């Protein structure tokens, strides 16, 4: 008796670089898994059939840098990111600088059916007691973070920098426990720019590290932005077996406009945004940048986060006593192009993945901007799927995702060939987004074995990750 399928995706252009598939195929799903990919599946052997002819069908997009929760997210705005990410076609996300309890609650209230893991953001006097934590303190923080459902921690060097010595101790403490550790570069000796990136090899030593959003350090603040890209590649190659990386393709960034009692901007990232256009790094400079439309403020409208400018942006910023989320168009397109497409001589991409650094930030354009590079001829369709799905799956150790092998997870992103935008996505064989409208809810919480008890008591579906399978810790033991 022929195998039956719960769902067949009929006639799409299937792109699966892991299996060398790049052409018209049917995809059959059964019990939430990929059952077969073949030239034709009979209508009689499926319970449901969706015609995806004229569409690109690839393994679900895995976003290795998004924002869905946070220890400093008092308003809960970041939870809106679940829907915003799912609308763009993402199926799995790593919430960088989150908070596990907030992530779980956000998934329950506003979840969109995605698979989500989180890293605890390291904020002095909020998630850690010390400004420059010792390795002993960090061992306890990492252990507790894993027990509470994070898969590791993130250093927020652009906002809450530690000394280089303490930064190195954070990385070492995470490595000891096989916990994920990501770094928005910058220490008390440097900034969130190329100078901060220059410190990273020595700080990392023999350890392992996720160097976040490489494009953020190639904005032309220290050297010409293309020269910064070249040096970034040299730095990454010097620790090729120890670093994992990603870059995002949106022009806008995200930052915070908080000022101190003297009216000076506190955070290095916001200061850099002002310097990039010649504004003073002060309360007055920020006000003028918002009025001029150079910067914008984030606010909620209709269940989504949007960017507003001018007097409305100033009002939002002032109502929050300057402690407001802002955005500036500071990412050069030439840097994004260079970082996304560059390869080593062996054909491997120098930057592992295309991320969004979005979620709750309205810049969830990883798929459409990557597809624009395909139209431009800078990437093939197979290379696009590699950057969006396959390499991120290896990066995180989610070995049953990122490909359409028999028995792989039924996570799929379906893309309009003309617009490059995702039109449908499935997680475990179930649609979570159709024609830009989210139909999924909740989600699957990705945790380590240490966090299984917390995840199990949350009421959410969960999956245990084995970070020893990740590119970050490949060959570590």
* Whole-angstrom distance, CA of residue 217 vs CA of residue 232: 8
pLDDT score recorded for residue 1: 54
Instruction: Give the CATH architecture of domain 58-251+331-401+434-477.
Output: Alpha-Beta Barrel (3.20)
Neighbour-count burial of 395, counting CB atoms closer than 10 A to its CB (0-12 exposed, 13-18 middle, 19+ buried): buried
Query: Which pLDDT score is estimated for 331?
Result: 95
pTM given for the model = 0.96
Give the pLDDT of residue 268. 94
Give the length of the chain.
Answer: 477
What does the CA dihedral 307, 100, 153, 186 come to, rounded to 10 degrees? 20
Sequence spans of domains, the chain: 58-251+331-401+434-477, 257-326
Q: C-alpha dihedral over 16, 64, 448, 172, to 10 degrees? A: 130
pLDDT (tens place) for every residue of the chain, 477 residues total: 568 999 999 999 999 999 999 999 999 999 999 999 999 999 999 999 999 999 999 999 999 999 999 876 666 789 899 999 999 999 999 999 999 999 999 999 999 999 999 999 999 999 999 899 999 999 999 999 999 999 999 999 999 999 999 999 999 999 999 999 999 999 999 999 999 999 999 999 999 999 999 999 999 999 999 999 999 999 999 999 999 999 999 999 999 999 999 999 999 999 999 999 999 999 999 999 999 999 999 999 988 999 999 999 999 999 999 999 999 999 999 999 999 999 999 999 999 999 999 999 999 999 999 999 999 999 999 999 999 999 999 999 999 999 999 999 999 999 999 999 999 999 999 999 999 999 999 999 999 999 999 999 999 999 999 999 999 999 886
Rounded Cα–Cα distance for residues 275 and 242 (Å)? 33
């Amino acid at each position: 008796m022929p195998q039956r399928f719960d769902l067949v995706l009929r006639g799409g252009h299937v792109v699966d670089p892991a299996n060398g598939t790049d052409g018209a195929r049917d995809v059959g799903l059964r019990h939430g898994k990929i059952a077969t990919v073949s030239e034709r599946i009979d209508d009689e052997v499926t319970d449901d059939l969706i015609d995806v002819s004229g569409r690109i069908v690839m393994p679900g997009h895995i976003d290795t840098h998004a924002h869905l929760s946070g220890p400093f997210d008092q308003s809960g705005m970041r939870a809106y990111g679940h829907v915003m990410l799912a609308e763009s076609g993402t199926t799995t996300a790593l919430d960088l600088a989150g908070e596990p309890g907030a992530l779980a609650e956000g998934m329950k209230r506003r979840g969109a059916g995605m698979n989500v893991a989180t890293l605890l953001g390291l904020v002095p006097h909020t998630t850690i007691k010390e400004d420059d934590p010792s390795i002993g303190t960090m061992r306890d923080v990492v252990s507790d973070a894993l027990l509470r459902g994070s898969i590791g921690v993130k250093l927020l060097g652009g906002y809450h920098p530690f000394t280089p010595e303490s930064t190195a101790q954070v990385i070492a403490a995470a490595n000891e426990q096989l916990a994920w550790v990501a770094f928005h570069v910058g220490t008390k000796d440097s900034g969130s720019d190329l100078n901060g990136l220059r410190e990273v090899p020595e700080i990392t030593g023999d350890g392992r590290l996720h160097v976040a959003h490489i494009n953020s350090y190639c904005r032309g603040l220290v050297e010409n932005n293309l020269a910064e890209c070249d040096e970034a590649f040299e730095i990454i190659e010097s620790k090729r077996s120890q670093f994992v990386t990603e870059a995002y393709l949106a022009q806008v960034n995200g930052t915070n406009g908080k000022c101190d009692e003297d009216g000076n901007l506190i955070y290095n990232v916001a200061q850099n945004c002002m310097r990039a256009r010649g504004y003073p790094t002060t309360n007055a400079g920020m006000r003028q940048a918002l009025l001029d439309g150079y910067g914008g403020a984030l606010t909620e409208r209709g269940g989504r986060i949007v960017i507003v400018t001018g007097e409305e942006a100033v009002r939002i910023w002032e109502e929050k006593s300057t402690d407001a989320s802002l955005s500036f168009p500071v990412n050069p397109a030439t840097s994004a192009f260079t970082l996304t497409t560059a390869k080593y001589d062996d054909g491997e991409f120098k930057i592992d993945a295309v991320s969004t650094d979005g979620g709750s930030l309205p810049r969830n354009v990883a798929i459409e901007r990557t597809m624009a590079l395909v139209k431009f001829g800078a990437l093939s369709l197979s290379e696009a799927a590699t950057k969006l799905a396959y390499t991120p799956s290896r990066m995180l150790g989610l070995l049953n995702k990122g490909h359409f092998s028999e028995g792989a997870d039924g996570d799929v992103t379906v893309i309009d060939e003309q617009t490059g935008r995702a039109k449908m996505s499935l997680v475990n064989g179930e649609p979570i987004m159709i024609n830009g409208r989210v139909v999924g809810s909740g989600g699957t919480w990705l945790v380590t074995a240490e966090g299984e008890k917390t995840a199990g008591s949350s009421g959410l579906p969960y999956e245990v990750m084995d970070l020893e399978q990740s590119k970050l810790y490949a060959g570590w033991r």
